[in-house]
């Protein structure tokens, strides 16, 4: 699983975990921020448009235990 750490001003940090063998994640920059699009590799269809964020980084360590489960999304 790959974990992205997503930041947006005045929001809690969000975490997106996805299986990189099933999902191709694209980032597009617009004036409103960075948009995340997810394509499902087996079909090639765009399945999800996750929204706009100010900053995105790949998290190489575990998500802190104090983070609410509502701030973590998992795509299998």
Reduce the secondary structure of 6-35 to three states and give it as a string.
EECCCCCCEEEEECCCCEEEEEEEECCEEE
Facing residues of 23 across strands?
40
Torsion of CA 63, 27, 45, 24, to 10 degrees: -50
Percentage of residues in the chain having pLDDT higher than 70: 100
Q: pLDDT at position 23, please?
A: 94
pLDDT of residue 61: 95
pTM: 0.87
């Amino acid at each position: 699983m790959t974990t992205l750490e997503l930041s947006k001003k005045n929001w809690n940090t969000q975490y997106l975990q996805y299986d990189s063998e099933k999902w191709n994640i694209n980032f597009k920059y617009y004036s409103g921020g960075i948009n995340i699009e997810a394509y499902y590799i087996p079909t090639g269809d765009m399945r999800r448009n996750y929204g706009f964020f100010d900053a995105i980084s790949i998290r190489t360590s575990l998500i802190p235990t104090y983070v609410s489960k509502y701030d973590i999304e998992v795509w299998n």
